[in-house]
Amino acid sequence: MIKDLILEEQNQKLKEQTQTQQSEIESQQNEIAILRQQIKWLKSQLFGRGKSEKVDTRQLELALQQAEASVEGQTPIKETITYERDKPNTKKRQSKEERYEHLPIKETVVIIPDEVKADPDQWEEIDEETTFEIDITKPELFKRQIVRKKYRHKINRSLPPVMAPAPEQLTEGGMASAGLLSWIMICKYLDHLPLYRQEKIFERWGTKLSRKTLARWVEIVSQWLKPIYNHMYQNLIDGGYIQADETPVNYNDPDIKKGKAEQGWLWLISRPGADVVFDWRLSRRHSELTTLLKNYKGLLQSDFYAAYENFDKNNEEVIWLGCWAHVRRNFLKAQEQNPIAVNHVLRLIGHLYSNEKKWDKQKVRYDRRRTQLRQSESMMTLKLLRKVIQHLIKKSLPGSNLGKACAYTLNHWKQLERYCEHGQARIDNNIAENAIRPTAVGKKNWLFIGHPKAGQRSAIIYSIIISCQRRGIDPAVYIKDVLSRLPNMKIKDVITIIPQNWKPIDNNYSPAKINS
């Protein structure tokens, strides 16, 4: 009995010592983090360029020495971390010949030694060495002449002459072919070349195509492609799972304010493995999302912009899911100030992602991922992660990056863990965000949309091009092909040429060659 009491007393003392040491360690860690921030700031003041104020360098050097001495005086805390990771797939480096074997040989140059040229009868060929160089010729604009011959009956002269009907024209006057229109769309929306630059390029090639003409052709192409776009949109609405996002794009309305740009928005809806559909709106108001997703039922995954929360509250048949990528970014912002605490959180989030990556690699079915794997493995990590964040928020200032990251996560915890209940849902919204990137690069080049009505034209063409890329289809080949078919198609047959169902007429076309 006495022995048990002694052991209990010793255990209690050990616990108190451990708690005291843990408090001291945490205090030192916080102090070290603050001092490192001070050192970073002092170095920027002392050695940084472009300062508009005069500073006393001797005073800054003294403060820097004191701060560095304080950090060096702290006892370093060592932590051993072990983890597993997949061995990277090291691909064999291709030779020059292998990389460019798909390029056709259009010219062969045979080089004969001078000695052989001087006396060819005295030499015989025994071998050869072959190398190559890559050359280019500029694109060539050409005319395709269309001749419709007229005939009259040889015997019955009373019959009127006959002539084949004129082919359906894509543009007014029929000047632009499907190939030329496809080229212009790809240059603007995939290669990010504004129309005024294309105008200059065509001029260098010896053909005058005004910017006004090119803009009109963009409008016409969007009108032709709109039935395809409508089918893509409806397929997403009927699919039961949508990822959504939005990005600002400036526009200039010459009818209201000359020279001043306003801000519009490209809203995006998508689904992993399906098409991407953009929609142009003049605002980011909550009502824009309501009209965009009218009659939608199913899973909706997004960031935590209030419009999505409002849409979720007003639609009982919609289940709102959060995005763990946004959570991770918030904690990364706090990593520098609180490295140990944040690294612990990031490791737990990383474990959630490694599970998903492993199951993707194993091609685990959605139903098993939901009922077995996520519920048994990911939910355990989520419970631990929540406890850690609840502990951290109590020790963090509300205005600090760590405090904000913890509050952001806990306030939306219900939406964040909900992906475990739905096997087809992804852990984050990154696939939708990646689809927005081409528009972000494009608007840096063309700066703004010239008229608010032109926004939807861009939305339609971006939807077609990015959906093609997602499916491994060359957008240039696709647009040229469907533009050549659409004039002779019935509306009910358009569904056969949406990217999901499209089959090229050219049997030599190989999607595997496309680098999307």
pLDDT at 514: 40
pLDDT at 146: 87
pLDDT at 465: 94
Residue 497 pLDDT more than 90? yes
Q: Read off the pLDDT of each residue in 127-135 and give the average, rounded to a whole number.
A: 87
pLDDT at 53: 45
Winning range, highest mean pLDDT, from 83-87, 222-226, 424-428 = 222-226
pLDDT-derived band at 44, boundaries 50, 70, 90: low
Q: Read off the pLDDT of each residue in 413-438 and give the average, rounded to a whole number.
A: 87
Beta-ladder partners of 262: 251
Asked if 264 and 282 touch (Cβ cutoff 8 Å), the reply is yes
Whole-angstrom distance between the N-terminal and C-terminal Cα of the chain?
76
Radius of gyration of the chain (CA): 33
CA distance 198 to 217: 13
Choose between 329 and 31: higher pLDDT: 329
Choose between 248 and 298: higher pLDDT: 298
CA distance 61 to 64: 5
pLDDT at 507: 54
Q: Read off the pLDDT of each residue in 281-306 and give the average, rounded to a whole number.
A: 89
pLDDT at 254: 64
Beta-ladder partners of 267: 246, 279
Give percent of the chain with pLDDT exceeding 70.
78
Asked if 71 and 39 touch (Cβ cutoff 8 Å), the reply is yes
Per-residue b or e along 235-256, where b marks 16 or more CB atoms closer than 10 Å to that residue's CB:
bbbebebbbbbbbebebbbeee
Q: Read off the pLDDT of each residue in 177-192 and give the average, rounded to a whole number.
A: 91
pLDDT at 505: 77
Q: Which two tokens stand for residue 74?
A: 């702290």
pLDDT-derived band at 508, boundaries 50, 70, 90: low
pLDDT at 89: 66
- Of 108-117, 214-223, 297-306, 369-378, the poorest mean pLDDT is in 369-378
Q: Read off the pLDDT of each residue in 16-21 and give the average, rounded to a whole number.
A: 71
Choose between 397 and 478: higher pLDDT: 478
Residue 503 pLDDT more than 50? yes
For residue range 49-74, what is the model confidence (pLDDT) as tens digits? Answer: 544 444 555 555 555 566 555 555 55
Q: Read off the pLDDT of each residue in 369-386 and give the average, rounded to a whole number.
A: 85
pLDDT at 516: 36
For residue range 22-37, what is the model confidence (pLDDT) as tens digits? Answer: 767 776 776 676 667 6
Neighbouring residues of 504: CB distance < 8 A, sequence distance ≥ 6: 477, 478, 481
Per-residue b or e along 289-308, where b marks 16 or more CB atoms closer than 10 Å to that residue's CB:
beebbeebebbbbbbbeebb
Choose between 375 and 79: higher pLDDT: 375
Q: Which two tokens stand for residue 471?
A: 């499916």
Q: What is the pTM of this model?
A: 0.74
Neighbouring residues of 419: CB distance < 8 A, sequence distance ≥ 6: 301, 321, 322, 324, 374, 425, 426, 427
Residue 446 pLDDT more than 60? no
Q: Read off the pLDDT of each residue in 503-514 and give the average, rounded to a whole number.
A: 60
CA distance 101 to 134: 11
Q: What is the mean pLDDT of the chain?
A: 82
Beta-ladder partners of 298: 318
pLDDT-derived band at 477, boundaries 50, 70, 90: very high
Tally of helices (H runs) and strands (E runs) in the chain: 18, 7
- Of 368-382, 384-398, 402-416, the poorest mean pLDDT is in 368-382
